[in-house]
């Protein structure tokens, strides 16, 4: 049986991808003002309990879904790319598309951001930028300067692994009915079990090459889910009403479970230690919640965009063309904006809103009107 593939661009995936990248920018704006997460520049303001809960809720849901969704989309297109270009063409394209921006960020954009924009290279006594840069390069510390582009680093590794697998077992269409409820919940359970196991085995692992060890298991499993979705032609087959159910399940059930974990696990008293990793029911609960929320909302959002946002006008085409460039360049732009907002006599909520709106808008305008018109950068961005 042959499954027909659409011969036009999947506008709904383009729209979903730039939406997810917008949310990454907003997430980094949230980390700037909240007590949670790590970023180049943070203000550490005093927040009341309501503000902390609001930031925690937003960042928790975003953290659960955004990167897993992007890895799933990447896996979906990787399967199609290998089928069209073969493994050699696929790897060549991935090295150019992911490797060059990653190298540019680690050697130029990241160091310039840390030294001049964020001020997070605090050498004592102070040294000129080129001297600091050379010391970081010689010591190997630049390998950990991938910033947000850790995503490209991990995708390169996944691409190499998938290409190697395809040499042994070529990509073939394998049409199957859409995943059942049991399949989705079972896969969420698998992600949760693997994540919890890694947290128990490496409770204090932190990050490796800027990749959070505890978060990592979700990424290859979502990438593999995307590959399977392409092979089985699931994105066109899943009925609209099924997608809506998964979306509401992620919002309603996911929201209720998150609130229960926060209320019962000690978070309201400021004790977050048991949620991270190790043999704690809170850690198991959060890993289960994240896996369930990631899969249900990813499925629901894909079908929502397929049904409602499968077209593009001038604005959405502009956003599509420049979304990856925004992912690469938004860090110094957002940091500059938040440092300017530091002097503004306004509430944290107002600053967060302004940083989010201006961070997204200025990043897209800079990439589309300046960066991608510069010689050499257009091919990278």
Per-residue pLDDT band at 267 (split at 50, 70, 90): confident
Higher pLDDT, 286 or 379: 286
Residue 151, pLDDT > 60, answer yes
- In tens, the pLDDT along 282-299 reads 899 999 999 999 999 999
What does pTM read for this prediction? 0.92
pLDDT attached to residue 118:
80
Is residue 4 included in any domain, yes or no? no
Is residue 295 included in any domain, yes or no? yes
**Tokens 């698998």, residue?**
190
Is residue 282 included in any domain, yes or no? yes
Burial code of 10-30, b = ≥16 C-beta within 10 A, e = fewer?
bbbbbbbbbbbbbbbbbbbbb
Is residue 3 included in any domain, yes or no? no
Is residue 251 included in any domain, yes or no? yes
Residue 4, pLDDT > 50, answer no
Query: Positive or negative CA dihedral for 31, 33, 36, 40?
Result: positive
How many residues make up the chain in this entry?
A: 381
Give one DSSP letter per residue of 152-211, joined into a string: HHHHHHHHHHHHHHHHHS-------PPPPHHHHHHHHHHHHHHHHHHHHHSTT--EETTE
Q: Can you give the C-alpha Rg of the chain in angstroms? A: 21
With vertex at residue 284, the alpha carbon angle to CA 282 and CA 290, rounded to the nearest 5 degrees, is 100
In whole angstroms, give the CA distance from residue 2 to residue 346.
60
pLDDT attached to residue 210:
83
pLDDT attached to residue 58:
95
Residue 3, pLDDT > 50, answer no
In whole angstroms, give the CA distance from residue 36 to residue 44.
10
Which residue blocks in 34-48 are alpha helix, DSSP H? none
Number of domain units in the chain: 1
Structural domain containing residue 48: 11-380
Q: What mean pLDDT is predicted for residues 64-78?
A: 94
Is residue 369 included in any domain, yes or no? yes
Strand 207-208 to strand 211-212: parallel, antiparallel, or no bridges (unpaired)?
A: antiparallel
In whole angstroms, give the CA distance from residue 35 to residue 203.
21
* Mean pLDDT value across the chain: 90
- In tens, the pLDDT along 215-251 reads 999 999 999 999 999 999 999 999 999 999 999 999 9
Name the 3-class secondary structure at 212: strand
Higher pLDDT, 179 or 123: 179
């Amino acid at each position: 049986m042959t499954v027909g593939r659409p011969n036009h661009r999947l506008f709904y995936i383009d729209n979903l991808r730039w939406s997810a990248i917008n949310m990454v920018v907003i997430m980094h704006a949230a980390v700037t003002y909240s007590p949670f997460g790590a970023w180049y520049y943070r203000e550490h303001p005093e927040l009341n309990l309501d503000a902390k809960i609001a930031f925690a809720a937003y960042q928790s849901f975003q953290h659960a879904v955004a990167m897993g969704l992007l890895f799933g989309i990447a896996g979906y297109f990787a399967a199609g790319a290998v089928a069209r270009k073969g493994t050699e063409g696929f790897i060549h394209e991935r090295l150019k598309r992911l490797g060059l921006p990653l190298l540019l960020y680690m050697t130029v954009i990241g160091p310039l951001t840390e030294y001049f924009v964020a001020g997070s290279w605090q050498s004592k006594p102070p040294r000129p930028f080129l001297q600091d840069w050379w010391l970081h390069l010689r010591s190997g510390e630049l390998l950990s300067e991938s910033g947000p582009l850790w995503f490209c680093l991990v995708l390169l590794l996944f691409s190499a692994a998938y290409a190697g697998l395809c040499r042994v077992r070529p990509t073939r269409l394998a049409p199957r009915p859409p995943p059942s409820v049991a399949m989705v919940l079972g896969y969420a359970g698998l992600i949760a079990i693997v994540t919890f196991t890694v947290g128990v085995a490496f409770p204090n692992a932190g990050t490796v090459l800027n990749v959070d060890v505890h978060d990592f298991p979700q990424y290859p499993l979502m990438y593999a889910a995307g590959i399977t979705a392409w092979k089985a032609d699931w994105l066109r087959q899943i009925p609209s009403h099924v997608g809506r159910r998964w979306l509401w399940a992620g919002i309603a059930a996911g929201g209720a479970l998150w609130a229960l974990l926060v209320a019962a696990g000690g978070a309201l008293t400021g004790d977050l230690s048991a949620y991270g990793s190790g043999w704690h029911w809170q850690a198991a609960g959060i890993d289960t919640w994240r896996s369930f929320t990631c899969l249900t909302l990813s499925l629901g959002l894909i079908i929502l965009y397929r049904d409602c946002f499968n077209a593009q006008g001038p604005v959405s085409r502009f956003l599509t063309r420049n979304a990856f460039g925004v992912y690469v360049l938004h860090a110094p732009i957002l940091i500059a904006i938040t440092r300017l907002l530091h002097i503004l006599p306004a509430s944290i909520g107002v600053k967060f809103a302004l940083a989010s709106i201006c961070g997204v808008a200025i990043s897209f305008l800079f990439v589309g009107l300046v960066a991608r018109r510069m010689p050499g950068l257009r091919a990278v961005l």
